[in-house]
Structure formats: C-alpha cells, structure tokens
Chains A and B, each alone.
Chain A
Amino acid sequence: MRRFTWFNATSLTFGFAFLYMPMVILIIYSFNASKLVTVWAGFSTKWYGELLSNQAFLDAAWVTLRVGVASSTLATVLGTMAAYVLVRAGRFHGRTLFSGMIYAPLVMPEVITGLSLLLLFIGIGLDRGIFTIILAHTTFSMCYVSVVVSSRLVSFDKSLEEAALDLGCSPFTAFRLVTLPIIAPAVVSGWLLAFTLSLDDLVIASFTAGPSATTLPIKIFSAVRLGVSPEINALSTIMISIVAVGVISASIISKRAAIKQQQEEMAAVRSS
C-alpha cells in the first residue's frame, strides 16, 4: 500500500516544512559567519567557539544540567512509586481521585503551577535557587513518568510478583529483583522524558529561579530580548540536539522493549 502521488508528496512536504522549517533555519544560521543574524556570509563554527568562552552561558548550562539530572531522577523515583501504588493497590477509597490528582499537572497551565510553587516557597521561607528549581521540575515531571510507567505496569503479570513472594522475597525484594528489572525500559524512558521536560522548561523555572541560579532557557530568553545573536542560535542548536537525542532514545527504548515483549509472547503462544 505504498503509493506515491503528487498529492501525498505535497502534503508531506508542507506538513514537515511547517513543523521543522523554523528549526532548520535556526540550525543553518548558527553556522553563519556574519554577526548579523539575517545576512548569510559563509559557513563558520566560530559562534560555537564564542559560546564556550561565555562564562554566563556556561554557568547557566551547568545549572540546567544539574537541575535536569536531579529533578528527573527524583521524578522517576516518585513517579514510579505513584504508578506502582495506583496500579497495584487494587481498589481503595478515593483511588479515582488519587489518579486524577496525579495526572492533573499534565493539563494545568504552567503559569499556575509556577505561581503556586513560588507562593509556597515564599510561604515556607525557602530561598530561591537551584534547589527550588529542582523541586519544581520534579513536581511537574513526575506525573509524566507515572503515566509512562503505569502503562507498562498494567500489562505486567501480577503472578510474577506473587511468585517472588512465594519464593521467599519480602515485598521490597520482590519489587527490586523482579518488578524493577522487567519494567526498567519504561522507567528509563520516563527518566529521559523528565530530563527533556526539565531542559525545555522556561515558565516554571522563571517563577522558581533566584538570582543565584539561572537556567539556560531563562538565559536565552533574557538574551533574546536584547536582540538575537548568532551565539544564541548556536546554543539553541545544541539544545535541539540534546532534546532530540533524549526523545528519540526514549522512544527507541520503549519500542524495542515492546517488540521484544511481543516476540516473547508470540514464542510462548507458538510453543504451548
């Protein structure tokens, strides 16, 4: 059913052009030799070099990286626990409410999340800085992790855990030795997703960041207000590649795991 028609080709080209043209232009101009963003003056990588000697950007990048790793790790732990409880605990009073409450931040406007966190941090007298950004990012990315992990847990054969208990495991050992290795691909792609979200976030970070810590998106945004420089283009290109790698590897990991699982199930059906 692979039919090549002019109509298909045109709609494909327009669709992808619409989605990716801005990014492609940005990437191309990051290799522009000219200082003027809109004038092409030949290929050069000098803005990448310049970027590396800009201490303010490097500091912001370092903050962003630390926030990303810390918050996505925290979010993965909390999100996996939440998913486990919601899928496994069976029916308890208020279960629907609980799962609704976990997924609510998915649809909550970021401005509201950011503002409420800001109020909370001021209320409890927490100085804004890298720690508050980590907390804020954990808060909104853990629900994404929990969605990814719970969809894997739903198809997980519960008798595997029972077998582990039956063979002498405590509930925690059963989780560590049986459940976790089997759901590991989902947990890893949850982590990558959380990391990518944290890297991208501008709104929540600007509410919760303090003068001591600025993330890369905040830095870029404030720099752009003074005019777009080719340096920003270079930086954005690097961020696009990191995010692309994260998203693509997350989807490859979960796809591979799904295919492998399917093959194992097929093998099981065929031989029994």
Chain B
Amino acid sequence: MAQTVFAPWNDPQAKPLIQFKNVTKRFGDFTAIDNLSQDIYEREFFALLGPSGCGKTTMMRMLAGFENPTEGQILIAGQDMAGVPPNERAVNMMFQSYALFPHLTVWDNIAFGLKRMNMPKDQLNARVEDMLRLTRLTKFAKRKPHQISGGQRQRVALARSLARAPKLLLLDEPLGALDKKLREETQFELMDIQEKTGTTFVIVTHDQEEAMTVASRVAVMDEGRIMQVATPANIYEEPNSVYVADFIGDVNIIQGKAHKTSADGYDIAWAEGHEPFHAKTSIQLDEGQNAFIAIRPEKISVSPDKPEGAVNAIKGQIVDIAYLGNVSTYHVRIPGGLVIKAQAANTRRLSRRAFTWEDEVWLSWTLTGGSVLSE
C-alpha cells in the first residue's frame, strides 16, 4: 500500500499559503529580519526555531499584522498583506502570555472573536461549544481566567484563536509557561488539533525538542536569517552548517583539512601525526579546504579494544561519565586534548557496566556516521 507522505514543499505544483519575498525588517539601526524568503504550505506545522533575538517573533508578528516589513513582500494565499491591519487578516495568534481577557469568562473569551464576525446567535453558540469540547473545557465555561490552572488557560487561548477558523494560526512560545510533563502532553494535543482542524500552524519556539516533536518542517534561525529549513529528521541527521548542528541536540565538532579520496569520499586531517577521519558526503570541497565533521554522540560506539574493520577509530581516556538513566554519555579525551562525547544505551544494570573513569577506550564510527560541513 502506497502511503502518500505529506511533503508539499517537494511538489513544484503546490501553491504556498505564505510567501516571504525578500523581506527585511529594521528597527532603527537594528536589522531583525535580513532579506528573508520562505514559503510555507497549507496544512503545514511550521516551526521557527532559534535563540532569543534571532527574529523569529518578528516574523510571526509580521504575519499577524502587528509589524510591517521595511522591505519586501509577504503574501498570504497569494494576496499581498502590505497595509492590511490585523483585524482584517484571516490569521489568528496565540500569545505567549495567552492574553486572555481577565474581565470575561472562558465562554466569552472564546466567543469574543466570533461576535466580531456578526455570526447568528445559534451558530455562535454552537461554535463556542465545539471549541470547548475540542479543548476539553466545557466544565470551565463559566469561570474567569484567574480561576483556572495554567494548562487550562493555555487551552482557552488555543480555543479562542481557533474559534474564527483562521487559515493560519500563529503560536508564540505556546507552551513556555507549562511544566515539562504538561508541555509534552500538550505537544501531542496540539498536533492532534492541528490534524483535526486542518489549519496551518506556525509555531515560534526556542525549545528544539518542542520544534522537533510537533513540526512538519523546522526553520533554524540566527540573526534574522533562516539557516536551514528541513524536516526534523533531516535537520538532525543532515545539518547544513556547524551552527545548525550545534543548535539542534548534542554534537561533536572536529575541525580539519579536507582531502578528496573518491567521488564522494573525503579524508579530514584533524591532527598532525594521526590518521585522518574518513567520511562520505554529497557536498563538494576544495583540496585543503577547512572542513568540519559533526558527529552525534549516539553515533559513536565505545569499546574496550580496537573494533575490527572500523573505518574511524581513535583511542582515548574517559574523563567524565554523565549517567542519565536510560543512556550514559562518556566524555573521552582523545590525543590533542579534544574531548569527544559518546553515548551508549544502558542495557545492563549499573553494577555490571564495563567502563569507569580513567579507562582507556576506543571510539569508532562509520563512514556516514558524521556529517561533513564546510561552514
């Protein structure tokens, strides 16, 4: 049975819902968004991920209509949004602080946007009840925002922003105020609701785990530019730069000089007197060019003896062990002083673990275990 994968960004026929065309936004001398172009498609769950001050919130506020681009164009469903005020956009936003109206009940908060549409009374009631059911808030309809918990408030904010059935829903750090457990539950709830309603979601977050969990595509941003846009798996496995590799998850970066060995094979000479590391990549590097290998800790195996036939193997000494329960991270110092992190699953009980501090171990990984990066 052929399953169609949701990937409109690979379909040249697909029409994007949102188009950023060479958008620049300046606040005085500060450039928040720097000549940015990006398409976002219908039904996508698109995550803008980056450290604070990278411009992700500015992008969202431009979509909502609270800011206007200094240069360039933003199109929603083919229409240029320049000069269209927030109240005339088929876009709704869920605010980081939730921004629930404290003087209105949960019911009135959700009905607020519908009342502005001059919807007939019975239709409006039915819509609010639907939203209450969707977010499991029916019991709390008559309460004021300060009489419910943080998680419930978050759901009211979501219900209120979904009530008008927007083409596009913007979520500004929607789960920032929730504790870890509730946050994880809510992430799945969000995905569920996104699927049920078929709305396009754009989420802003600085939490990479959150972005990876919920999003169909993740855009990693830095200083007003998008560094990479890809599916969570591709962002993790095939980062296009040291910045992205470093921002998403844990990574070892080894710097060296590239030497071409075959059509897609390179040797990276990383230290004088040591065998270079071998790697396979699709990118093209010049001879002797500065290059990096980015290797995820879980891609490196730790063994007491040199493994037979390993492509890349290096001996080192354990300087630190971080025990995380299900996995342990070994910090291994290799010749030249570089400390490499390697992760191993704790399939055995603690008392029978093989390695301890100051043990000499071999680290090894495969040809494709690390990604070769030029910047």
Q: State whether these chains interact.
A: yes
Query: Closest Cβ of chain B: how far from A88's Cβ, in Å?
Result: 13
* Chain B 78-97 per-residue mask, 1 if CB under 8 angstroms from chain A, else 0: 00000001110001110111
Does A50 belong to the interface (CB within 8 Å)?
no
CB A257 to nearest CB in B, in angstroms, measures 11
| Cα of A264 to Cα of B66 in the assembled complex, Å | 28
Q: Is B146 an interface residue (CB 8 A)?
A: yes
B99 touches A160 (CB 8 A): yes
Smallest Cβ distance from B55 to chain A, in angstroms? 18
A165 to B164, CA, bound (A): 13
Where the two chains meet, the residues of A that have a C-beta atom closer than 8 Å to any C-beta of B are 157, 159-160, 162-170, 173, 177-178, 181-182, 263-264, 267-268, 271-272
| Set of chain A residues within 8 Å of B86, measured between Cβ atoms | 162, 165-166
CB-based contact B146/A163 at 8 Å: no
Q: A255 to B312: give the CA distance in the assembly, Å.
A: 71
Q: Are A157 and B99 in contact (CB under 8 A)?
A: yes
Counting CB contacts under 8 A, is B117 at the interface?
yes
Once the chains bind, are B95 and A162 in contact (CB under 8 Å)? yes
Q: Is the CB of A268 within 8 A of B87?
A: no
User: Would you call B93 and A163 a contact (CB within 8 A)?
Assistant: yes
Measured between beta carbons, the chain A residues less than 8 angstroms from B101 are 160, 163-164, 178, 182
Whether A167 pairs with B112 at a CB distance below 8 angstroms is: yes
Q: Inside 8 A of A160's CB, which chain B residues have their CB?
A: 99, 101
Question: B96 contacts which chain A residues (CB < 8 A)?
Answer: 159
Residues on B lying within 8 angstroms of A by beta carbon are 64-66, 85-87, 91-93, 95-97, 99, 101-103, 112-113, 116-117, 145-150, 153, 160-161, 164, 177-178
Could you tell me if B87 and A166 are in contact, using CB atoms closer than 8 angstroms? yes
Report whether A267 and B95 are in contact in the complex, using a CB–CB cutoff of 8 Å. no
Total of A-B residue pairs, C-beta within 8 Å: 74
Q: Distance (Å) between the CB of A260 and the closest chain B CB? A: 9
Chain B residues, Cβ within 8 Å of A167: 87, 92, 112-113, 116, 160-161, 164
Q: How far is the CA of A237 from the CA of B149 in the complex (A)?
A: 51
Q: How near does chain A come to B119, taking the closest CB pair, in angstroms? A: 11
Chain B residues positioned under 8 Å from A178 (CB to CB): 101
**Is B112 a contact partner of A164 (Cβ separation < 8 A)?**
yes
Contacts of B177 in A (CB 8 A): 272
Q: B residues within 8 A CB of A159?
A: 95-97, 99
Q: A253 to chain B: closest CB distance in Å? A: 15
Chain B neighbourhood of A164, CB < 8 A = 101, 112
Most chain B CB neighbours (cut-off 10 Å) among A157, A164, A272:
A272
- 3 closest A-B pairs by beta carbon, nearest first, are A272-B150, A168-B116, A167-B113
Known: A268-B150, A271-B149. A168 touches B99 (CB 8 A): no
Give the interface centre of B64, B96, B99, B161 by most chain A CB atoms within 10 Å.
Answer: B99
Whether B116 contacts A169 by the Cβ 8 Å rule is yes
Per the bound structure, the CA–CA distance linking A267 and B100 in Å amounts to 14
Query: Can you list 11 A-B contacts (CB < 8 A)?
Result: A157-B97, A157-B99, A162-B64, A165-B85, A167-B92, A167-B164, A168-B117, A169-B116, A170-B87, A263-B146, A272-B149
Smallest distance from the beta carbon of A167 to chain B beta carbons, Å?
Answer: 4
A170: chain B residues at CB < 8 Å are: 87
Neighbouring B residues of A271 by C-beta, 8 Å? 148-150, 153
Apart from A167-B112, A181-B103, A268-B153, list 11 A-B contacts with CB within 8 A: A159-B95, A159-B97, A162-B66, A165-B85, A166-B161, A167-B161, A167-B164, A169-B87, A268-B150, A271-B149, A272-B150
Residue of B nearest to A182 (CB): B103
Complex Cα spacing A163 to B87, Å: 10
Once bound together, how far apart are the Cα atoms of A162 and B57, in whole Å? 14
Inter-chain CA distance A181–B177, complex, in Å, is 26
Assembled-state Cα–Cα distance A242/B145 (Å): 37
Q: Which residues of B contact A173 (CB under 8 A)?
A: 116
Contacts of B102 in A (CB 8 A): 182, 264
A249: shortest Cβ distance to chain B, in Å?
21
Tell me, in angstroms, the Cα distance from A165 to B160 when the chains sit together.
Answer: 13
Given contacts A159-B95, A159-B97, contact A168 B146 (CB under 8 A): no
Q: Across the interface, name the chain B residue whose C-beta is closest to A167.
A: B113
Q: Which residues on B sit within 8 Å (CB–CB) of A263?
A: 146
* Nearest chain A CB to B64 CB, angstrom units: 6
CA distance A186 to B42 in the complex (A): 45
Bound-state CA distance A182–B145 (Å) is 14
Within the complex, what minimum Cβ distance (angstroms) separates B99 from chain A? 4
Cα(A157)–Cα(B97), bound, Å:
9
Chain A residues within 8 Å of B87, by CB? 165-170
C-alpha gap A169/B89 in the complex (Å): 11
**Whole-angstrom CA separation of A271 from B152 in the bound complex:** 10
Q: With A and B bound together, what is the CA distance between A159 and B102 in angstroms? A: 12
CA distance A263 to B145 in the complex (A): 12
Chain B minimum-CB-distance residue to A261 = B102
Inter-chain contacts of B103 with A (CB < 8 A) = 181-182
A181 (CB) vs chain B CBs: closest residue? B103
**Cβ–Cβ contact A166 & B64, under 8 A:** yes
Alpha-carbon gap, A267 to B149, bound state (A): 8
Supposing A160-B101, A272-B177 touch, asked if A264 and B146 sit within 8 A by C-beta, the answer is: yes
- Whole-angstrom distance from the CB of B157 to the nearest CB of chain A? 9
Chain B minimum-CB-distance residue to A267: B146
Closest to A268 in B: B146
A268 to B64: give the CA distance in the assembly, Å: 26
Query: Which residues of B have CB within 8 Å of A168?
Result: 87, 113, 116-117, 164
In the assembled complex, the CB of A224 is this many whole angstroms from the nearest CB of chain B, namely 48
Residues of B within 8 A of A267 (CB): 146-147
Tell me the smallest distance from the CB of A270 to a CB of chain B, in Å: 9
